[in-house]
Amino acid sequence: MHPNDPGLRSFVDVDPSSDFPIRNLPYGVFSTSNSPAPRVGVAIGNHVLDLAVLDSEGLIDLGAAKGVFAQSAINAFMALGPKVWSQTRTRISQLLRHDNAELRDNAALRKRALLPRDQVTLHLPLEVKGFTDFYSSKEHATNVGTMFRDKTNPLLPNWLHIPIGYNGRASTVVVSGTKVKRPRGQLKPPSAELPTFGPCKRLDFELEIGVVIGQPSAMGEMLTEAQAEAMIFGFVLLNDWSARDIQQWEYVPLGPFQAKAFATSISPWIVTREALEPFRLHGPTQDPMPLPYLQQRQPNNYDMALDVALRAPGMAAPASICTTNFKYMYWSSVQQLVHHASSGCAMNVGDLLGSGTISGPEKHQRGSLLEISWNGTEPVELPGGIKRSFLEDGDSLSFHGWCQGNGYRIGFGEVEGTIVPSA
């Protein structure tokens, strides 16, 4: 049976509402108190399957690449290429099937390899070689342009022709649960004559999906649509934290810099492109037609539900402030990668591409506080009379994302971050 087959069942008990059924098998890096060296595993229900143990026991055939799962990042495995990715996922699926005795009936091996997820520590799943953030939601770009530029013509002339992006900082990509220190920078409100230096006062989140690049491209070479797709290993939830007031002062003429360099949070589980295959669909109609190198012949968007919840100090539980869908993105992940390489820019195993803020056409689908509060003029009302225009110290943001199948879901778990004071 194909690993995406709806009829698959695992001997591991998996709740239908779980993000991690046997059809998902996302990759992550984890450690335990008894074995503190980080290694690669996959999530299955409420457990983590230790791939380093299975590899050492000869249950996964990686040939000369034996040992790639006993590493603190998934890069070495990704470098083996799409054929190995698919073969390995198929083999893991076989080992977890309800009718396969290899792992199911080996109690000693199960005890070593199948670990309760609440007893492991999750780490950054990849060594991020480079980080590029895009600006690919038409709804988001329209909202921002309406607020700050021209209500009658909010999109800049190039936006409908080119996936806009900027090179960010790989050094501050962190895993879910890492606390985010409020950034400091130069601030200059419109009423001030000169800038000052201090903590950001308009701290925001950006709801994004991160694309994990698993194969390289050579400097000087362009990519076809098919080549770009094959280079994508998988996807993560991504929060590209944003200091709006620092950005407002610094971004002219070269764009975001320190306002985006202080932290980018990603989920600990990388959901493979193959697992998301049943949920592909065509994105919005692109008008005008992109230039030939950016034209798409296949569906490259995904029907993926997304939710953002905010928990302020004093709240008993997080409150949802945004529900949207990845399908609304105007520029697809494949187009972003094709364009990124089009100048001759080399791509590396472990590069991370941020989709850009994901907003939809409705008010509840706005993927940043800048949009939700309309630049602070319409504060968000939370339980207990709490209001937010931008994030305050102690606030926690959590993203969830999933593709809904018939009786199962393919999910990402969570990416969470809590704001702590700058000093």
Annotated catalytic residues are: 140
Amino acid in position 271: V
CA distance 258 to 270: 27
CA distance 213 to 353: 8
Q: How far is CA 279 from CA 21, 46, 161, 368, in A?
A: 15, 23, 26, 25
| Residue at token pair 């895993």 | 175
* Strand 380-382 versus strand 352-354 pairing type: unpaired
Cis amide linkage into residue 288, ω under 30° from 0: yes
| Residue at token pair 């190039």 | 158
CA distance 39 to 123: 9
| Residue at token pair 């999933």 | 402
3-state secondary structure of 226: helix
- What single string gives the DSSP state of each residue in 286-336? PSSPPPGGG--SS--EE--EEEEEEE-TT-SS-EEEEEEEGGG-SS-HHHH
3-state secondary structure of 31: strand
| Residue at token pair 């764009």 | 255
Residue pair 143/335 in contact (Cβ under 8 Å)? The answer is no
3-state secondary structure of 276: coil
Q: Is 92 exposed, middle or buried (0-12, 13-18, 19+ CB in 10 A)?
A: buried
Residue pair 340/165 in contact (Cβ under 8 Å)? The answer is yes
Residue pair 401/304 in contact (Cβ under 8 Å)? The answer is yes
Report residue 133 as tokens.
């953030």
Across the strands, what pairs with 80? Answer: none
